[in-house]
């Protein structure tokens, strides 16, 4: 289908067909006294080079990861995006396509989504995945709703180490759905298992835990899974997909629902979005998954093809009884992720994870040697760690800009208890030179 | 012409009831399954609960629409027909036999006197028909 504007000839034929003399005539029913009788107060149109120059000036006010060595994470990461991702997703058939309304006519789109779902299942070790949500935050919120509906229990436990930005979204949904949320306290930057055990009462539907957690640390997920399941509740896990190149995936420790942020898999940082909500579950809960699900089947001639499956779950059939009102997915971002995963493969993902982890540990050791700085690395961490700073953390971030460094994310705005704490992330893109320069910057600015 | 067995009782919302002792078996009528067309999923949300007549029992998903299932009797919902999970189409094929949906332990069997008999339901069905 083409999306090109009408020509004058198109308009003439349409008017002729409906028996109208002009387009103006079609608005005859609107009273003259409420019609706008002047042009809109807009500036003159710009030529393409003028528009490019004007927009370029705005864009230049940003400083991107092309000019700063990025050590900021907290849910979105500067991982490398292979050139092939852009090449494939830039094809107009993918780039301009909207969510298909007669889905079975768009077999290519459905196949791409089916492959995405399959890759998610492999990566997360789960049995069923949907066509994607908008981002991890909303996927986590929907998982909360799912857990409540599946278990028929009232409240949800949330580890204090889940990304606070995601927690805000979970709380927004939970408020509207009347799901009480209780926060499980931390002990040493990880979930307190004794507290979890006490809090797993018979009215608890699920535990939401992030692994690796917001502060970069690994959570005791196997023990948490045992405690939660023994109490008859579900385990909802939020996992960074890159971490699954090194850590055992959620399926191996009996996660009932696993979600993640797909941005690290071939999607640019883009000042916060568009990102990609990864969502998967045990097969027995597939009817409770929100969103689109693509399935493969055979037609009446026995030929293989793709369809949207169990659509009767969705709101256009179930209406107010549906589990969610989402009726789309992030097709282009999901495609980017599929291209990234197919390009990198098992060994590629493992290598990205290994390098990110090794480099994060190298930098943590370097920072710990700078006078006045301490790293909270007594518990195992993956690619992020907390640094205690001798001055307010955002002063470190501001000072770093002049050195070509985005030093991290100051944590005090998420939690007043996290004063003078900087969250530092390291990906495979960071070089030894960049990391050594980071330590030199800290010494020069704050330790001499 | 839809099948309407004489030995059953019927609700205005197109459910049928068969009482054996104090156990009532409930399903939807042949007329109802014809109106809904292909059934894809049956969910008895009130399983285990004690409900009153006309309370929602669950939902029936067809390809085009979702329909509420209402209880024609009061009592405790003791069983749901699990075979419908794998073969929901049984409701279409055998609505009064293998396509039963739930069993309720009734508090007061005389409550069934307030339901329609086959003749009264046949009249209702012919008035409700869309085609």
Q: With an 8 Å Cβ cutoff, are A312 and B40 in contact?
A: yes
Percent of chain A past pLDDT 70, that is, above it, reads 99
> What are the structural domains of chain A?
69-81+345-446 (3.90.1150.10), 83-339 (3.40.640.10)
Distance CA B97, CA B93 (A): 9
Q: With an 8 Å Cβ cutoff, are A319 and B59 in contact?
A: no
A-chain CB neighbours of B85 within 8 Å are none
A381-428 pLDDT, tens digit per residue, is 999 999 999 999 999 999 999 999 999 999 999 999 899 999 999 999
Overall pTM surpassing 0.90 (yes/no): no
pLDDT of residue B1: 60
B33-49 pLDDT, tens digit per residue, is 999 999 999 999 999 99
pLDDT of residue A316: 81
Q: How confident is the model at residue A447 (pLDDT cuts 50, 70, 90)?
A: confident
B130 in a domain, yes or no? no
Q: How confident is the model at residue A268 (pLDDT cuts 50, 70, 90)?
A: very high
Please tell me which residue of chain B has the smallest CA distance to A150.
Answer: B45
pLDDT of residue A2: 67
Q: How many domains does chain B have?
A: 1
pLDDT of residue A88: 96
A211-237 pLDDT, tens digit per residue, is 999 999 999 999 999 999 999 999 999
B-chain CB neighbours of A310 within 8 Å are 40-41
A-chain CB neighbours of B65 within 8 Å are 317
Among A59-63, A187-191, A290-294, A431-435, top mean pLDDT goes to: A431-435
**Residues of B numbered 72-131 whose beta carbons fall under 8 angstroms of chain A's beta carbons: which are they?**
none
Q: With an 8 Å Cβ cutoff, are B66 and A310 in contact?
A: no
Q: With an 8 Å Cβ cutoff, are A321 and B65 in contact?
A: no
Q: Has residue B129 got a pLDDT over 80?
A: no
Q: Comparing A128-137, A366-375, B106-115, which segment has the lowest mean pLDDT?
A: B106-115
Q: Which of B43, B61, B84 to mutate to test the interface with A (most CBs of A within 10 A)?
A: B61
Chain A: nearest CA to B62, how far in angstroms? Answer: 7
**CB distance from B56 to chain A under 8 Å?**
no
pLDDT of residue A318: 80
Chain A: nearest CA to B14, how far in angstroms? Answer: 20
B131 in a domain, yes or no? no
Please give the mean pLDDT across all residues of chain A: 95
Q: Has residue B131 got a pLDDT over 80?
A: no
A-chain CB neighbours of B40 within 8 Å are 310, 312
pLDDT of residue A338: 97
B129 in a domain, yes or no? no
User: B71 is in which domain, residue-wise?
Assistant: 9-120
pLDDT of residue B60: 94
A331-364 pLDDT, tens digit per residue, is 999 999 999 999 999 999 999 999 999 999 999 9
Percent of chain B past pLDDT 70, that is, above it, reads 98
pLDDT of residue B41: 92
Interface of A with B (CB under 8 A): 287, 310, 312, 317-319, 321
| CATH classification of the domain holding B65 | 2.40.50.100
Please tell me which residue of chain B has the smallest CA distance to A318.
Answer: B66
pLDDT of residue B65: 83
B104 in a domain, yes or no? yes
Q: With an 8 Å Cβ cutoff, are B66 and A319 in contact?
A: yes
B110 in a domain, yes or no? yes
B1 in a domain, yes or no? no
Mean pLDDT of A18-22: 95
B3 in a domain, yes or no? no
Considering only the beta carbons, identify the residue of A312, A318, A321 that sits closest to B63: A312
B-chain CB neighbours of A287 within 8 Å are 41
Please tell me which residue of chain B has the smallest CA distance to A311.
Answer: B63
B93 in a domain, yes or no? yes
């Amino acid at each position: 289908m083409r999306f090109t504007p009408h020509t004058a000839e198109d308009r003439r034929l349409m008017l002729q067909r409906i028996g109208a003399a002009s387009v103006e005539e079609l608005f005859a029913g609107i009273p003259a006294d409420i019609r706008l009788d002047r042009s809109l107060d807009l500036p003159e149109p710009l030529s393409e080079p003028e528009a490019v120059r004007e927009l370029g000036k705005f864009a230049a006010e940003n400083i991107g990861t092309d000019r700063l060595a990025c050590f900021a994470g907290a849910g979105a990461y500067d991982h490398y995006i292979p050139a092939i991702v852009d090449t494939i997703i830039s094809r107009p058939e993918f780039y301009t396509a909207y969510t298909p309304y007669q889905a079975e006519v768009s077999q290519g789109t459905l196949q791409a989504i089916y492959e995405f779902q399959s890759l998610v299942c492999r990566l997360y070790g789960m049995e069923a995945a949907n066509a994607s949500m908008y981002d991890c935050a909303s996927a986590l919120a929907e998982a909360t709703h799912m857990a409540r509906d599946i278990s028929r229990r009232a409240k949800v436990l949330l580890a204090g180490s889940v990304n606070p930005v995601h927690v805000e979204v979970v709380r927004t949904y939970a408020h509207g759905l009347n799901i009480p949320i209780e926060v499980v306290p931390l002990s040493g930057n990880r979930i307190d298992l004794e507290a979890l055990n006490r809090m797993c009462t018979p009215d608890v539907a699920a535990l939401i835990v992030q692994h690796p957690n917001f502060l970069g640390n690994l959570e005791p997920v196997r023990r948490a899974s045992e405690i939660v399941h023994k109490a008859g509740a579900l385990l909802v896990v939020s996992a960074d997909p890159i971490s699954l190149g090194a850590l055992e995936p959620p399926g191996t420790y009996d996660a009932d629902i696993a979600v993640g942020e797909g941005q690290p898999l071939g999607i640019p940082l883009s000042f916060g979005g568009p990102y990609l909500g990864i969502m998967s579950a045990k097969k027995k809960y597939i009817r409770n998954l929100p969103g689109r699900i693509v399935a493969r089947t055979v037609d009446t001639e026995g030929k293989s093809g793709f369809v949207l499956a169990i659509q009767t779950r969705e709101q256009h059939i179930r209406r107010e009884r549906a589990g969610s009102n989402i009726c789309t997915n992030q097709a282009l971002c999901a495609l980017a992720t599929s291209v990234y995963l197919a390009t990198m493969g098992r060994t590629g993902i493992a290598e990205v994870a290994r390098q990110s982890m090794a480099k994060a540990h190298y930098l943590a050791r370097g920072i710990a040697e700078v006078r006045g700085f301490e790293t909270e690395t007594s518990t195992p961490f993956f690619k992020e760690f907390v640094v205690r700073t001798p001055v307010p953390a955002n002063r470190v971030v501001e000072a770093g800009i002049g050195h070509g460094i985005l030093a991290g994310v100051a944590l005090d705005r998420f939690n007043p208890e996290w004063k003078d704490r900087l969250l530092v992330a390291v990906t495979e893109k960071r070089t030894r030179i960049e990391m050594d320069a980071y330590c030199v910057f800290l010494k020069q600015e704050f330790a001499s | 012409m839809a099948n309407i067995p004489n030995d059953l009782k019927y609700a205005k919302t197109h459910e049928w009831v068969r009482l054996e002792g104090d156990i009532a078996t409930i399903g939807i009528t042949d007329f109802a399954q014809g109106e809904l067309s292909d059934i894809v999923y049956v969910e008895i949300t009130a399983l285990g609960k004690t409900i009153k007549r006309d309370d929602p029992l669950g939902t029936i998903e067809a390809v085009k629409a979702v329909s509420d299932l209402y209880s024609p009797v009061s009592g405790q919902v003791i069983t749901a027909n699990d075979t419908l999970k794998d073969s929901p189409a049984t409701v279409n094929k055998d609505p009064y036999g293998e396509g039963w949906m739930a069993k309720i332990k009734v508090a007061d069997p005389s409550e069934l006197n307030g339901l329609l008999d086959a003749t009264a339901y046949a009249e209702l069905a012919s008035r409700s028909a869309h085609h």
